[in-house]
Amino acid sequence: MLLFPQLMPLHVQGVRLGLNLFFYRFREMDFMRKVLLSAVLGLALFWGTALAQTFDDGLAAYNAGDYSTAGKIWQALAVEGNPRAQYNVGVMLEKGIGVPQDYKNAAMFYQAAAEKNHSGAQSNLGTLYANGLGVEENDAEAVRLYLLSAEQGNPLGQFNLGLMYAKGEGVERDDSAALSWLLKAAAQGDPRAQNNAAVLYRDGRGTEVNDVEAARLFTLAAEQGFASAQTSLARMYAQGRGVTANIETALELFKKAAEQGHAGAQTSLGMAYYQGQGVQKNNAEAFKWFQAAARQGVGEAQFGLGLMYVKGEAGPPNDIKAHMWWNIAVFNGFENAQRNLNTVTADLSPQDLQTAQNMAQTCVDSRYQNCED
């Protein structure tokens, strides 16, 4: 399997080709260069006629969408020890850009760049360790790498390190340290860091509860289109926490997040349309957003669909579908649906009850995609 077709720089000293075999003078190479070339050789024999090119040549090819050329240039430079090229090859392998996704070899290239103190490679390699992708899962090693990256001011490393402290993974949980690192990344404009730091301020973790600061940080992330922050900020506007209550602004934010597929925002928007909160009651819109969230497994939205079916607000009254959705909502932990489920169960015939239960099972088995037939 080729990483990048026809990749091998011309005139590589020490290479001799014959019968699809070539030998390199490994003793003249540093250890990591051996590892990288071994990775290349283990995948394929590369042979090309391209002249030696620069990192920027690879960048131009990449930006033009010519990933094959970019990969050839950067991999040649990576084997020669260029840390930026090593990092970029790692990214292409990790993401499967122009080549099949390959976490193991991505980790090798990241490792080479990380040892040359490339902060992006350190952070990305840390994420591979945190998730056990291409390497054995090791949260402590992930934290070590994130710290190396974060101390160089890399916002992604700072964000990831903050999360590890917040979750207590690979390191003892420390909300104060989590907030400190998240704020460093937030100050550099990272929307995920802004969002997570806002959550800590809102919930009083690692600091006193500070709704004003939470709203400020949520706003920064929301303005970058970060759906989770838009949803949280919408709730603060709806509740008047840290900002002046404004249901219209809340609904605007819920809609922005809902249109990005955020299930919580879809549920809240559906409820607003269903109850006529800040907007004219609209059953069609309520059903649309409840259904979108229900298909993502949100119990509250599934409960809402059940209400609409039993009341005939989504067409003729349909106790079977109401039972199906309330049954699923209870399955997903939305306990408020249990009473309704008990009531409609008593009203169904044994045959209809079996139909409803079968529909619920089919719906769950299809991950909520085959539920309305």
Let me know whether 316 and 272 are in one domain: yes
Identify the domain boundary among 205, 231, 258: 258
- Residue 241 shares a structural domain with residue 316: no
In a shared domain, residues 245 and 266: no
Among 15-29, 128-142, 219-233, which stretch is predicted with the lowest mean pLDDT? 15-29
Q: Which helix (H) or strand (E) holds 203?
A: helix 191-203
Distance, first Cα to last Cα, the chain: 44
Q: Which domain holds residue 217?
A: 189-258
Q: Which of 242, 258, 274 is the last residue of a domain?
A: 258
pLDDT tens digit sequence for 112-157? 999 999 999 999 999 999 999 999 999 999 999 999 999 999 999 9
**Do residues 218 and 291 share a domain?**
no
In DSSP terms, 111 is beta-bridged to none
pLDDT at 144: 99
Q: Is the pLDDT of residue 278 over 70?
A: yes
List the CATH number of the domain containing 220: 1.25.40.10
Is position 309 within any domain? yes
| 218 and 254, same domain (yes or no) | yes
Residue 203 lies in a domain: yes
The three-class DSSP label of residue 158 is helix
User: 219 and 268 in one domain?
Assistant: no
What are the pLDDT digits (tens) for 200-216? 999 999 999 999 999 99
**Residue 322 maps to a domain:** yes
CB-based contacts of 55, cutoff 8 Å, min separation 6 = 73, 74, 77, 82, 84, 85
pLDDT over 90, % of the chain: 85
Question: Into how many domains does the chain fold?
Answer: 2
Q: Answer yes or no: do 269 and 254 share one domain.
A: no
Which residues, including other chains, have CB under 8 Å from residue 163's CB and lie 6 or more apart? 178, 182, 196
Domain assignment of residue 359, yes or no: yes
Residue 12 in this model has a pLDDT that exceeds 80: no
CA–CA–CA angle 55, 57, 63 (5° rounding):
105
- Does 10 have pLDDT greater than 50? no
Domain boundary among the residues 214, 238, 258 is at 258
Residue 198 domain-assigned (yes or no):
yes
- Over 50: is that where the pLDDT of 1 sits? no
pLDDT beyond 90 at 14? no
Same domain, 333 and 359: yes
pTM score, two decimals?
0.84
